Structure 1
Amino acid sequence: MVGPDFPFPYDTFREHPAGIGAVPAAAHGTEVAVIGAGLSGVVAAYELLRMGLRPVVYEAEQIGGRMRSAAFDGHPGTVAELGAMRFPRSSTTLYGYLRETGLRTSPFPNPLSPATPETVIDLKGATVRGRTLDELPAVFRRVARAWAATLEDRAGLSALRDAIRARDPQAIAALWHPLVRRYDDTTFYRFLVDSPHLRSFADRELFGQVGFGTGGWDTDFSNSILEVLRVVATAADEEHRGIDGGAQQLPLRLWSSAPAGTAHWPAGTSLAALHPGGLPRPAATGIRRTHPHRITITDADGAIATYPAVVHTAPVWLLLNTIRTDESLFDPLRWSAIERTHYMGSSKVFVLVDRPFWRDVDPATGRPVMGMTLTDRMPRGTYLLDGPLAGAGAPGDGPAAICLSYTWTDDSLKLVPLGAAERMDLMLDSLSAIYPDVDIRSHVIASPLTISWEVERNFMGAFRANLPGHYRYQERLFTHFMQDGFADGHRGVFLAGDDISWTAGWAEGAVQTALNAVWGVMHHLGGACAAANPGPGDRFAELAPVRLPDVT
C-alpha cells in the first residue's frame, strides 16, 4: 500500500538500521501528548518512546480503538472482531509491527477465497454456490470481466499497479495525478455507468451486491471513485489475513512491549511502564493554546497538563463536539476539511457456536452444509470463522464464531434501533430462508455480540470515506504534518489516524499517518532523520500529493 498519492516507502523507512530519526539529547524525556490509543495512537507513542520522548496517551475507552476484539460471555479467549478483522498482505508496514510483536496471522475466509470452503450467493430468492468463480454461473464471470475491463480502460490499472510495485514515484505520479484531476468529482456509480462494459443495470446491480474480493460494493456507490481506485491499485482488497487470537492484540502488545533501540530510557521501558497503573490517561476533553508555544490539555478527570507537541489520532469529528478545541489551533482550511469529513456507518452481529458445523458435508450434494454468504437479505455478508481467528485451536476445532451480519451505511442504519438479541433473531430468520435444512440456532452457545459504529460516542462511524469533490479536504488533512509554513499559532498539533489516511478503513493507513506525525513531532523539537534514511517530511517535496486548484 505504497502510494499512489504519497508513495513514501514507510515499511523500509521504519525497518532501516539507521532508525527513523532522533531528537536532540536536551529534548530527551520531553512529554508529548497522544490523543487516542487506537492503532495509530499507540504506534505514534511507541515510536516517540523509541526516540527518547515521553508519550502521554489519552484514551476515552480502551486501547485498540476500532481494533476491538471481544470475547463472548463465559468463553474467555474467544474472538469476535467488532472492528478491524482482515488485513491485506500489501499492508507491509503493518506486517512489520506484527512481526515485531510476535503475532501470527491466518488466511481470512473472504468470498471465493482459498480459505473459504464454500461461497453461497443468494440474490432475489435464487441461491448459487461455488468454491471458485469458475463454479458460479456465467453471469458472475461476465460481470467480473466487465469490472476488470472498466478499471483497465478508464483508469489504466495494470500500469498503475506495476508502478506501485516497482516503487517508482515518477511513474506513479504520471499515472495517478491525471486520474485525480479527472475523477475527483465522480462517484463510483457514475464511473460504472460511463463504462461501455457495464451499461446494463442488471450487471451493475449484481456487481454492487456481490463485488469481487471482499464482498459487495454498492454501499460505496455514492463515494468518490478515487477511494475505490486506491483500494484496487494497492491490492487492499486481495490476500486478506486475520490476526490469530484477535486484532486488538497488536495495539495491546505495542503498549506493553519495550521498543528495541530506545534512546534515553532504560532497556525494557514500555508505554505501560510510563503510565501510572499501566493505563492511558482519561479522555481528553479540551485542547487550547497556551503561549508562547504550548498546547494545554484537560482530561475527563479535570487534570490539566501542558505540552510542546500533541498528536491527535482520534476521529476528527471529536474536535467538533466532545473535545472543546481552541479554534486558533487550526487554520480555516483545515477546519473546513475536518467539518466535511464523511464517515461510513457499519454494523456487525456475532454469535459463538459449539463447533464449525458448516464444514459438515451434506450427503445429498457432497458440499458443505453452509458457506460464506453474500445476500440481498438483511445479513448482506455472513462470515464463518474457526480456528485461531475465533480464538480456538486448529481450523475445524470448536468453539467457532459466525459474523451473522456485516453491513454498511443504510443497511447498518436499519439495525440501529435493535438490541443484540433482536439482531441475532433477524439474521437467523433471514439465513433460514437460504439454509432451510440447517438449524444454526441449535449451535449457538453464548449471547450475541453486536456493534454499530455510527452510534459509538467516540467514533461516530466505521471509517472516513470521501465523497466526490473531497480530494482537496483530504490533501489538507494528510499534509498537516508538514508545518514549517504554518503560522506559529497553528503549529504543534499533528493530525494522524484513519481519518487522515488516503486509504481509510485499512490499518496500514493509520500506521503510515502515525509515522508522519512522529516525523512532524521530531522536526518540531529540533530533531532529524539520518541522511541514509530520510523520512516522509524529508522527501515531501519529491513525493507530495497533487494539489488541485480551488478555482479553475
Structure 2
Amino acid sequence: IFNRVHKGWRTFLHAGFVDGVAAFASPFTLTECLRLRNYEFASSLWQKWLDAFSSETFSSGIERIFRGAHPPGGEKWTRDVDMELFKELGVGSGGFGPVFGCGFIEILRLIVNGYEDNVMLLLDGIEEIPRRLSQQKVGSYSIRDRIIHKEVKEIIRTESGISLAIGEGMHATFDRVIVTSGFTNIQLRHLLTNDDSFFSYDVNQAIENSHMTGSSKLFVLTQNKFWKAEELPSCILTTGVAKAVYCLDYEPDKPSGKGLVLLSYTWEDDSHKLLTFDKGERFQILKRDLAKSYPRFADLLEPADGDYDNNIIQHDWILDPYAGGA
C-alpha cells in the first residue's frame, strides 16, 4: 500500500524534481554540499527552491511535485489514498499531516539539514549537550563560569554597546550579543523589533509575522519495559488523537529497569485541541484512544507506582514562556 509513496519520496530525496521547465536539486545533493562546506554552490541550488516554492504550503508543494506532470518515481500520487498515507507517515517519522499548512520551504529545510535522519538516543538527556559545552574553557574561564542565571528582559542598543536588562533595575553592556530565543521573545520580551536599531523594517516585519508552530508531548515513566516483554510495537502511528507513540529505553543494560513512553507527540491543530486538558485528563484521553487499535498496550500503560503527579510529564511548546512555539 505504501509502494508508490515510498518510491516517489525516495526518488525525490535522491534525484530531486523536474517540472518540465526547471530542475531542482535533490535534498540529499544539498545535504552533501553542506557537508563538504560548498556553501556557495549549495546557496545557488537552494535559491532555486526559494524562488519557485517560497509561497507554497507544505501541502501544495507536495501536490505540485507528486501530482504534477513529472512526479518523482514516475507515478502520480492519488489524493484520496497516497496523500492521506503521506499525511500519516510523513517523511518517515510520522504525523506530518498537521503541518501541511506550514511553509513547504520550512519543512524542506528540516530534510536538507538531516534533522529527521540518524536520530540518536542521548542516555543522559538532551541537557547533557549544553552542560558539556558549558564546561569548555574560553581563555581561563569556562562558559559555565560566565552564566549569570538571570532572565534577560529588554535588549537595547546604546552608544557604548548593547545593554541587557537582566533583573531588578540591573543592566549589563556587551560588544556583541547572540540571541537564541524564539521569535515571540525577540518581539515581545526582548523588544528587538520595536525600532530599526537592530533590524530593518522588512526584517522586523518578517520576525513579527513568522508562524510559531504548536507542538505537544506527554511522557509516561513506566514501572517496566512492558512492550518488550509482551512483544508489542515500540513505535505506533495512528489516525486518532494519539498520533504518535514512541517507547524509549534509557536503561538498555537493565532489562528490569523502568521504561519511558512518549504517548503523544503532536503538532498544530492536533496539539492545540489538547491544551485545555491537564496531564491526568490528557493521559486518559490518549490511553482511551490508543485502546481502539492496541488494547493490550493501553491496558499495560500506567505511570510507575501509580504516581500521576511525578511520573507523567507534559510539555506544550506554544505555552512555554521561553519558546512561544516550536
Corresponding residue for residue 63 of structure 2 = 193
**Which residue identity is paired with 1:271?**
I
Secondary structure in structure 2 of the residue aligned to 1:243: coil
Pairing 1:402-551 to 2, within 5 Å after superposition: 402-438=261-297, 439-442=299-302, 444-445=304-305, 446-447=307-308, 448-462=312-326
Mapped contact 1:428–1:440 kept (Cα < 8 A): no
From 176, 181, 197, give the equivalent of 1:329: 197
Q: Within 2, Cα distance between the matches of 1:191 and 1:220?
A: 12
Report which structure shows greater RCO (CA 8 Å, sep ≥6): 1
Deviation at 1:411, TM superposition (A): 0.5
Q: Within 2, Cα distance between the matches of 1:270 and 1:167?
A: 29
From 313, 316, 335, give the equivalent of 2:183: 316
Corresponding residue for residue 176 of structure 1 = 46
Give the 3 Å change call, closer, same or farther, for CA 245–281 of structure 1 in structure 2: closer
From 126, 132, 142, give the equivalent of 1:270: 142
User: Is it true that 1:208 corresponds to 2:87 in the alignment?
Assistant: yes
Deviation at 1:192, TM superposition (A): 2.0
Secondary structure in structure 1 of the residue aligned to 2:153: strand
Q: Within 1, Cα distance between the matches of 2:274 and 2:36?
A: 44
Mapped contact 1:285–1:297 kept (Cα < 8 A): yes
Q: Within 1, Cα distance between the matches of 2:190 and 2:43?
A: 38
User: Is it true that 1:301 corresponds to 2:168 in the alignment?
Assistant: yes
Mapped contact 1:144–1:212 kept (Cα < 8 A): no
Coordinate RMSD, CA, aligned: 2.3
Deviations 1:272-322 (A, max 9, x none): 3345xxxx342122222332x422222233212223332222113223223
Corresponding residue for residue 16 of structure 1 = none
Corresponding residue for residue 357 of structure 1 = 226
Give the 3 Å change call, closer, same or farther, for CA 176–424 of structure 1 in structure 2: same
Deviation at 1:166, TM superposition (A): 4.4
User: Is it true that 1:290 corresponds to 2:158 in the alignment?
Assistant: yes
Deviation at 1:402, TM superposition (A): 0.3
Corresponding residue for residue 50 of structure 1 = none
Pairing 1:30-179 to 2, within 5 Å after superposition: 139-150=1-12, 152-154=16-18, 155-157=24-26, 159-179=29-49
Deviations 1:371-409 (A, max 9, x none): 3110111110101001x3xxx352634101001100011
Secondary structure in structure 2 of the residue aligned to 1:327: coil
Q: How many pairs align?
A: 302
Give the 3 Å change call, closer, same or farther, for CA 397–272 of structure 1 in structure 2: same
**Which residue identity is paired with 1:258?**
Q
From 207, 212, 215, give the equivalent of 1:338: 207
**Which residue identity is paired with 1:184?**
S
Q: Within 2, Cα distance between the matches of 1:173 and 1:332?
A: 24
**Which residue identity is paired with 1:371?**
S
Secondary structure in structure 2 of the residue aligned to 1:449: strand
Give the 3 Å change call, closer, same or farther, for CA 248–146 of structure 1 in structure 2: same
Mapped contact 1:150–1:192 kept (Cα < 8 A): no
Mapped contact 1:350–1:401 kept (Cα < 8 A): yes
Mapped contact 2:217–2:316 kept (Cα < 8 A): yes
Q: Within 1, Cα distance between the matches of 2:114 and 2:168?
A: 44
Give the 3 Å change call, closer, same or farther, for CA 162–411 of structure 1 in structure 2: same
Deviation at 1:198, TM superposition (A): 1.8
**Which residue identity is paired with 2:324?**
M
TM-score, normalised on structure 2?
A: 0.84
Q: Within 1, Cα distance between the matches of 2:131 and 2:292?
A: 41
Give the 3 Å change call, closer, same or farther, for CA 404–178 of structure 1 in structure 2: same
Structure 1, unmatched stretches of 5+, are 1-138, 362-367, 463-552
Secondary structure in structure 2 of the residue aligned to 1:284: coil
Mapped contact 2:220–2:303 kept (Cα < 8 A): no
Mapped contact 1:147–1:198 kept (Cα < 8 A): no
**Which residue identity is paired with 1:323?**
H
Give the 3 Å change call, closer, same or farther, for CA 407–442 of structure 1 in structure 2: closer
Secondary structure in structure 1 of the residue aligned to 2:219: strand
Deviation at 1:162, TM superposition (A): 4.7
Corresponding residue for residue 56 of structure 1 = none
**Which residue identity is paired with 2:248?**
L
Mapped contact 1:282–1:301 kept (Cα < 8 A): no
Deviation at 1:461, TM superposition (A): 0.3
Mapped contact 1:288–1:297 kept (Cα < 8 A): yes
Q: Within 2, Cα distance between the matches of 1:395 and 1:156?
A: 46
Q: Within 2, Cα distance between the matches of 1:334 and 1:209?
A: 35
Between the two proteins, what is the percent identity of the paired residues? 25
Give the 3 Å change call, closer, same or farther, for CA 442–396 of structure 1 in structure 2: same
Secondary structure in structure 2 of the residue aligned to 1:240: coil
